[in-house]
Structure 1
Amino acid sequence: MSDAIDLILPSASAFGSWTYGLLVLAALLEGFVLTGVLVPGTVIIIAAGMLAQRGVIDFATLVWCVALGSFAGHQVSYHLGHFAASPLQARHGFSASRYGGRAHNVLRQRGAAAMLQARLMGPVAGFVPFAGGAAGLRAGRFTAWNALGAMPYALLVPALGYGLGALIGPLTATAPRIAVFAAMVTAALIVLAVILRRLRVAYPTLRSVAVALVRAVQNLPHVRAFLARHPQVFARIQALVAARFGTDQFLGLTATVLGLLLIYVGFAYADSVFDFLGDQATVSADRRIANLLYAMRDDRLIAILGWITDLGGRHGLLPLLAGVTLALLALRRFDLLGGLWIAAVGNQLTVTLLKSFFARPRSDLGYFVETSGSFPSGHAAGAVAVWAMLFYLGWRLRLLPLNIAAPAAVLTAFAIGVSRVYLVEHYLSDVVNGYLVGALWLILGVAFCEWRRPMPRTGAGPMRKGLAAACFAVSAAAAVYAASTMSNPLNQIADRSTGVLDDPAALVDTDLPVMTELLSGAPRQPVNLIIVAPDIAAITQALAPGWQAAPRPSLSVLIAATFDDWTGRELPQPLVIPTFWDNRPSAMGYAKAGNPKDMRLHLRIWDSHLRTPSGDVIFAATITEEDPLDWAGAENAIVRQGPHVDQAISDVIAALSGAGLTGQRR
């Protein structure tokens, strides 16, 4: 009975947790008129639907949380619109703005029933109930339609995330974890770009709303009486707001924004340090990613990312700094020159001190030889403090528009950080911490530039501009040449395949893990078979024709298989999605011939990096009965060995023995 009740009402234990509270807040803020364009509530709810598909949160409780938050946000917006109706109608700025005009149009066409459509109108969602309150819609009628419109939204958006989770789970299973990380960051950058565009378009509308609300508060009888008795209080408030948000001096809006950013980045930096020092899971995840990327290195990616990592180091940055310094001297832009060197020198000194203080050893899997400490990443810090500063200078000198300079700075810093992680020159937490260190000095450098920015004046003459351009061109060419020809020497990594084990059964007594894992690191299944063979080809030959070799599925194969699954058609065979053991994906997979459509027997093997005295390879292996695509759905469920698996292990051991190989139960 309790399960049935949970489908009707959210469970008290789940509703009281932080996760569900944050989901309520996200849905509320997206429906609130002043924050709807800033908070990507729909994106957050879609992500929550994906978590529900993975079994991390309860789907029914998620639906109720979204419905509650969305209803509350639109309800508050309606009452604020009703409260500010008179000042809003007197100014006429709201209905003339882009988002305000769209909100008025949908209300004029549909009345209170517009709440069924409002939640699907993106950034306009929060303005529709506000406009409804200002237009005088009856409260009871609005509330009824608001509640009616909340439920379809609360069902459809999480369901979309649930479906995406079912699709993305198998697709990401064969992707390197750094690729998953890159996809997440790319999605975050897209969301950020959309929010910034929304904010730029919505600024006139938000300004009208804010002014109308302030006027409405001033018109309250007790507020008017208080201001009449204390006129100096209102004057001081106005002066404070003007000082903090004025655009005619540095100590106005510019200093306010930079100060808030500095505080935020400072807290984020402290949090990253606490995670590194106090959370063993962070250190473990760093090593897991490093081992995985080492096992999946690709020569083509190494060539590209090796050049990028050198461009982000001293070989690339020092020539650029020299050339830009000469160019700024030629242009007499000492304000920009000071900001550049504050960011560059301050960042380098800070990184050097922090590396000495934390003294984190480098991974022995690094592609290049590095001798300094690992935490934080100097390349990542320099990518933000110096490279982003260079793009800022390009914008200030009117060489680049802002919509080009800002994305280019972010993408450059991201590429340099990814190169450091992929080449295992740094752990992931090193790069994140380096980004934050660089961001602190970037903010300080920009603050100096804005503080010392001269009043508008006649630009530099043609000769000075030509000299500056020549300096920059020569330095850029020197940076590219240095990054291409002055790489650090390669790291001589010890052969990980030289361990010798006299008895293959003793694999269980080594430090190697017993459990295999999913892409996320969740436990999947214990190793249940040990194989001794000269190589994988010998195993493939011994198991044929009863077991079909299954190469690692490509993205196109997985997309086709997912489509076949949705349409009820037979899935391709063999289809074995890799899992992880010892932080490495399975080297090879096999599918039992003649498997049924849904539950199939799959064999996965890993090279243990151990050898017998005769030189044969000792492989760890698992045999699993699973659905080819739905196996990753239960994040917290460890696969149990059933009767079909037990028989399959016996069959594999017999087949190996017949070919002169060895198979042992684990």
Structure 2
Amino acid sequence: MSNYYNYLISLIQNFSIFGYLLIAILAFFESFAFIGLIVPGSIAVIIGGFLAAHGSLNIVILYLLVFLAAVLGDNYSFRLGRNKKVPFNQDGKIFNQELFIKGRKFFEHYGAKSVFLGRFVGWVRPIIPFIAGFFELDAKVFLLWNILSSILWAASHIALGYFFGRTWQLVALWSTRFTIFFTGLIVFVILIYLLKHFALSRGKELLTLLVSIGESIKSAVIENKEVKEFVEQHKAFFSFLRKRFDRNNFFGLPVTLFVLSLIYVMALLGGIIEDFLTTDLIISVDHRIANLLTIFRNETLTDIFFWITFLGKWQVILVFTFSIILILWLWNKKSYIIPILISITGSVLFTYIGKLLFHRARPVVAIYQESSFSFPSGHATISVAFYGFLTYFLVKEISSWKHKINIFFTGLILIIAIGFSRLYLGVHFLSDVWAGYLVGTLWLIIAISVSEYLTLNQKNIFHKFKEVELSGLVKQIISVIIIILAVSSYTFFSLEYQIPYRTTLPQKPLIVSKALNVFEGSRLKYTESLLGEKGEPLSFIIVANNEKQLIRTFQSAGWNTADEINMYTLYKAAKAALLKKPYPSAPVTPDFWNSKVNDLAFEKPDSSDNIRVRHHARFWETNFITNDGEKIYVGTASFDSGIKWGITHKIDPDIDSEREYLFDDLESTSLIKSAEKYQFVAPKLGSNFVGDPFFTDGKAYILVVE
């Protein structure tokens, strides 16, 4: 997970110069008079600190730019207030008189200190400098408070982002099951809430500002003398462009936007199909994510995601579609019936064809059996095609801005939840869901295009049918009854559906004459990241009858089996680390080998008997057995030399010493039948999954347990 995140950060790093510029501009305009109310400068600065933690931005340069931008933004606002030329009115979108009055009261209450305090109060920040200038605060006094507040504001926001940048990947490593699920859920809900809140509180203002800026730019360009001459010389071309951007003609701006959107979505879909057919990276990532999600499974969460995934079942969609058509007919909204049927029918047809063409098998970790192929996901497709169109319809028909935003985010969350339920239940790979979303979006765009055409041209293919002549109250009652019946049908279906739980059959064991023969493929010789990048080489190959025998051998050597990672064990580990107390079976961060998360983890306290310093090892069960029917396990050993960033362990780079330490302990038990040491890989310098460096001579032990 951390390596994947680092990969994304490295992409951003290539554009670091523009990153500095963008952050500085946003920091400047957030401090600018009144406009700062709709500019997310603080968020940009925090993100800058986040990127600086990964080396994508230089923290010193970032700090200086943010500090100067904040000072200059306040200073220009102060000068603007001194000039007193800004027009205020009660209904103003930006320079609102009510905000001016609130800012004046804040300034009168705190005096010159309001310049410093206002920097850290959301709505006050872009107003106070203007107010200070308007009421003629001494310029030198203003500058003093401006500089002091800018120093602290820039430092605090960059530090906050830097802290999250340092700890984010570690949280991902340490969290599993309920921890990571609920942490991710909370973060997701917070982000959605913040986006929704921003759209509700500042969305219209931002849209107004963008439209105003666009109109100003348009006017400036059109009035330019050289532009006029160029347009005059190319009348035919610009006449064509003018028609393409005509808002009042469906074949103008609407078709232009729909065609561009369609081309973009088709390009994305083509890209994911090409990756699926020509590269193994996406396949590798798919399998690792599928295996990683299995450790998050919980009976309660599984039940919840079953209910969510049933929202995409064809039986439920059929009932919901019939109900929606009845309601549309009842309320004389018949022009939406054909588009929604196009969206659903087209997406189902494309999904069916895709499954037949690619014949991709379902993940082996699936909780229950599905009869169809895996690529693309039909549930993901229909979630966009049906629930996306329903969202479009409601947003278009409802006039309240607040209700529009709430409906949009509700539809978005529902679509994401259905797609994620397929991943959580293990019945689809990530690329299946992503391809399904794209197919659904493709047909949603087509359906919306048809709907807009019918609306703009005032065409109703059902005009021969009589309108339903009922009072509004009667229509509401009938609509509620239809909705209740539809929801009841979904509930009954979910309760009565017989889930064909998959009987997980063990993979057919591969019998080998010697354990070392298993690892002729170099990829099996190393641990790996989520993207399949090589990590530490294996240092142990152990032949044992079963898992119990392996655990008994480690326990005889004085090693403890590590606890499962959950909220309680993480709390115990954090408490022990803080108090420097022992926790001999503390959880160990998971790692990958052959796309699998480690099956077992062992640890042994250091002489200090402190959780901060400990020996630990991870082991995986392979699907190989020897000619004598014994299982083959592989593993690595390393030493936690301390705590870094207050969250996770720092791993000692000399992993060979730990290999020898573990071997000596195992050999002392007299339970080792035979032991051989091989040159397993070439000597190597590298870094492991948490970014700690290591070096090794590349040798490994093959042990046979008695």
If the length of structure 2 is used for normalisation, what is the TM-score? 0.72
- Give how far 1:494 is off: 4.9
TM-superposed CA distance for 1:547, in Å, is 1.3
Q: Per the alignment, in what secondary structure is the counterpart of residue 86 of structure 2?
A: helix
**1:416 Cα offset (Å):** 0.9
1:472 aligns with 2:469: no
Q: CA deviation at 1:217?
A: 11
How many angstroms does 1:638 deviate by? 9.2
Which residue in the other structure is 2:237 paired with?
none
Equivalent residues in 2 for 1:11-26, closer than 5 Å: 17-19=14-16, 21-22=18-19, 24-26=21-23
- SS class of match (2:524): coil
What is the identity, as a one-letter code, of the residue corresponding to 1:161?
G
CA distance 1:15–1:411, shift in 2 (3 Å): closer
Offset at 1:624? 0.3
1:556-584: CA deviations, max 9, x gaps?
3324533554x453353332333222222
Question: Who is 2:191 aligned against?
Answer: 191
Aligned-pair CA distance for 1:267: 3.6
- 2:69 counterpart of 1:72: yes
Cα distance, 1:194–1:125 mapped onto 2, change above 3 Å = farther
Distance 1:111 1:261 in 2: 54
Range with greater deviation from structure 2 (380-389 or 506-515): 506-515
Which of 421, 424, 431 lines up with 2:423 in the alignment?
421
Task: Measure the CA separation in 1 of the matches of 2:308 and 2:159.
Answer: 40
Q: Distance in 1 between matches of 2:274 and 2:217?
A: 48
Unaligned runs of 5+ in 1: 1-12, 230-239
Change (3 A) 1:332 1:302: same
Distance, in Å, in 2 between the alignment partners of 1:141 and 1:15 is: 40
User: What residue in structure 1 maps to residue 390 of structure 2?
Assistant: 390
Q: Residue 335 of structure 1 contacts residue 452 of structure 1 at CA under 8 Å; is this kept in 2?
A: yes
Equivalent position SS for 1:573: coil
Paired residue for 1:603, among 617, 631, 634? 617
Within 2, Cα distance between the matches of 1:82 and 1:357?
Answer: 66
How far apart, in 1, do the equivalents of 2:85 and 2:357 lie?
58
Aligned length: 632
- Specify whether residues 216 and 427 from structure 1 end up closer, same or farther in structure 2 by C-alpha distance, changes over 3 A only: closer
Q: 1:569 aligns with which of 574, 580, 592?
A: 580
User: 1:328: Cα distance to partner?
Assistant: 2.2
Alpha-carbon distance, 1:162 to partner: 3.8
Q: Distance in 2 between matches of 1:192 and 1:443?
A: 24
Matching of residues 588-627 of structure 1 within 5 Å:
588-596=600-608, 597=610, 598-627=612-641
Contact 1:383 1:416 in 2 (8 A): yes
SS at match of 2:120: coil
User: Aligned partners of 2:346 and 2:476: how far apart in 1?
Assistant: 29
Structure-1-length-normalised TM-score: 0.75
Residue 543 of structure 1 is matched in structure 2 by 554
Shift of 1:116: 4.3
1:259-287, Cα deviation, whole Å (9 max, x unpaired): 86985686466346436635754442222
Which of residues 411, 414, 419 is equivalent to 1:412? 414
**Equivalent residues in 2 for 1:581-592, closer than 5 Å:** 581-592=593-604
1:321 shift after superposition: 0.7
- Tell me, yes or no, if the aligned pair for 2:71 and 2:147 is still in contact at 8 Å: no
Look up the match of 1:270.
267
Q: Distance in 1 between matches of 2:646 and 2:627?
A: 38
- Is the CA contact 1:533–1:662 (under 8 Å) kept in the aligned structure 2? no
Question: Is 1:609–1:618's contact at 8 Å kept on the other side of the alignment?
Answer: yes
CA distance in 2, matches of 1:186, 1:323: 33
Q: Deviations over 1:581-603 (max 9, x none)?
A: 22222222222244434432112
Report how far residue 417 of structure 1 moved. Answer: 0.7
2:504 is the alignment partner of 1:504? no
Check if 1:651 corresponds to 2:664.
yes
Partner of 1:341: 341
Which residue of 582, 591, 598 maps to 1:579? Answer: 591
Distance 1:482 1:349 in 2: 24
What is aligned with 2:310?
310
2:536 to 525, 528, 531: 525
Query: Matched residues in 2 for 1:78 and 1:346: separation?
Result: 57
Superposition deviation, residue 498 in structure 1? 2.0
2:26 alignment partner in structure 1: 29
Post-superposition Cα deviations, 1:154-187, rounded to whole Å, max 9, x if no partner, equal 3322322343455554443243599858855763
Q: CA deviation at 1:312?
A: 0.8
Which amino acid letter does the alignment assign opposite residue 649 of structure 1?
L
Which whole-Å deviations, capped at 9, do the CAs of 1:114-136 have from their partners, x for residues lacking one? 56445533465455556667777
For residue 8 of structure 1, what is the aligned residue in structure 2? none
Report the equivalent of 1:641.
Answer: 654
Q: Is the 8 A contact 1:45 1:157 kept in 2?
A: yes
Shift of 1:389: 3.3
Distance 1:45 1:568, change over 3 A: farther
Closer/same/farther in 2, CA of residues 652 and 509 from structure 1, 3 Å limit: farther
Query: Taking structure 1 as reference, are residues 595 and 128 closer, same or farther at Cα in structure 2, changes over 3 Å only?
Result: farther
Structure 1 residues 243-392: aligned runs within 5 Å: 267=264, 270-271=267-268, 273-274=270-271, 277-278=274-275, 281-294=281-294, 297-352=297-352, 362-370=362-370, 374-391=374-391
> What residue is the counterpart of 1:7 in the other structure?
none
2:413 partner amino acid: L
Structure 2 contact 265–441 (Cα < 8 Å) conserved: no
The corresponding residue for 2:87 is 89
Q: Distance in 1 between matches of 2:175 and 2:482?
A: 43
Residue number in structure 2 paired with 1:9 = none
Q: Could you say if the C-alpha distance between residues 32 and 472 of structure 1 is closer, same or farther in structure 2, counting changes exceeding 3 Å?
A: same
Distance between the aligned counterparts of 2:183 and 2:256, measured in 1? 31
The 1-side partners of 2:431 and 2:382 are apart by 16
TM superposition shift of 1:619: 0.9
CA distance in structure 2 between the aligned counterparts of 1:178 and 1:258, rounded to whole angstroms: 46
- Per the alignment, do residues 126 and 29 of structure 1 end up closer, same or farther by CA in structure 2, a change over 3 Å counting? farther
Residue aligning to 1:237: none
Say if 1:604 and 1:207 are closer, same or farther in 2 by CA, change over 3 A.
Answer: closer
Note the residue ranges of structure 2 that are not aligned, 5 or more in a row: 1-9, 229-240, 459-467, 678-699, 702-706
Q: Where does residue 683 of structure 2 map in the other structure?
A: none
Return the offset for 1:511. 6.4
Q: Which amino acid aligns with 1:557?
A: T
User: Quick one: which amino acid aligns to residue 605 of structure 1?
Assistant: F
Q: Give the match's secondary structure for 1:382.
A: helix
Q: 1 CA distance for matches of 2:674 and 2:15?
A: 54
Amino acid at match of 2:518: L
- Pair 534,464 (structure 1): closer, same or farther in 2 beyond 3 Å: same
CA RMSD of aligned residues (A): 5.3
Q: Write 1 or 2 for the structure with the bigger share of strand.
A: 2
Supply the AA of the counterpart residue of 2:201.
Answer: V
From the superposition, tell whether residues 46 and 202 of structure 1 become closer, same or farther in structure 2 (CA, over 3 Å).
closer
Q: 2:568: which partner in 1? A: 556
Deviations 1:181-223 (A, max 9, x none): 88557635533432442343346866997899999999x9xx9
C-alpha distance in structure 1 between counterparts of 2:215 and 2:398, whole Å: 40
* Deviation of 1:620 (Å): 0.7
**Does 427-436 or 295-304 show the bigger shift?**
295-304
Contact 1:29 1:35 in 2 (8 A): no
Which amino acid counterpart does residue 558 of structure 1 have in structure 2? L
Between Structure 1 and Structure 2, which shows a larger proportion of helix residues?
1
Structure 2 counterpart SS, 1:552: coil
Shift of 1:554: 2.1
**CA 1:43–1:574: 2 relative to 1, 3 Å:** farther
Change over 3 Å in CA distance of 1:412–1:623 after alignment to 2: same
Q: Distance in 2 between matches of 1:100 and 1:353?
A: 61
CA distance in 2, matches of 1:128, 1:520: 49
Q: What is the Cα deviation at residue 408 of structure 1?
A: 2.9
Secondary structure, counterpart of 1:418 in structure 2: helix
Deviates more, 1:324-333 or 1:403-412: 403-412
Aligned partner of residue 424 in structure 1, secondary structure: coil
Question: Residue 319 of structure 1 contacts residue 475 of structure 1 at CA under 8 Å; is this kept in 2?
Answer: yes
Residue identity in the other structure for 1:500: I
Letter aligned with residue 528 of structure 1:
S
The residue aligned with 1:172 is 172
- Which residue does 1:516 correspond to in 2? 527
